[in-house]
Amino acid sequence: MSTPDEEYEQSNLTRRGFLTLSAATSLLGLIPGVSYANIIHEMKGKVWINNITATSTTMIKPGDTVKTGENSRIIFVMGEDVYQLGSWSTLRLRGDEENSLVSTMRLLNGTLMSVFSKGERIIQPPTAAIGIRGTGIFIQVNPKGTYFCTCYGTTEITLRNNQWVQPVSSTHHQAYFITHNLDEPQISTDTLRGHQDQELFYLESLVGRKPPNNFK
């Protein structure tokens, strides 16, 4: 029997159509003939995969939960997507395990910066569903609410009560704050904080890309 969170996750995925993924597009990316393995690129402090202490050779795949401890960080590559998880963070990954394609991410707490190849993904903080398309993003979840920045690219924020859909197209950081009121979450614009341009350039470089030319 599905839990309310699982039913909400599935209904949003179906309603917004973000499960229609192209495996070929996600794997090929921008460099013909190149696809990147699922690897941990950097790791600092305490990191757990499915509650087991991670090592530099641990494989991360859809279905896994990645957690970090105090003063900890992990940067990992899956296909042509790059994830940087900060301290005290918990990230659940869902998708096609056979092809290692992530379609859905649930950030329970902490911070995540990611750069994505072409294709459609969805990330879920506690009171929203955010559609992502070939985008650089930064998200922070704390007890008061969710800070979400579309660093570049296109996203769509749907609040949990479905009463607000916010399409976002950004060339250089468009941020919002979403409250964690489960019955009536609110969204408001916010300012750039918690991340920097050079981090995005670095993450993109790990898969042979750069941010868009209009990112400035």
**Domains of the chain listed by start with CATH number:** 4-205 (2.60.120.1440)
Residue 22 has which token pair?
């192209």
Comparing CA positions, the residue from 103, 107, 136 lying closest to residue 122 is 103
Task: Measure the CA–CA gap between 130 and 111, rounded to whole angstroms.
Answer: 15
How high is the mean pLDDT of the chain?
84
Cα 92 versus chain centre, distance: 10
User: According to the model, what pLDDT value does residue 147 have?
Assistant: 98
**Per-residue model confidence as pLDDT tens digits over 139-157:** 999 998 999 999 999 999 9
Say what the pLDDT of residue 12 is: 44
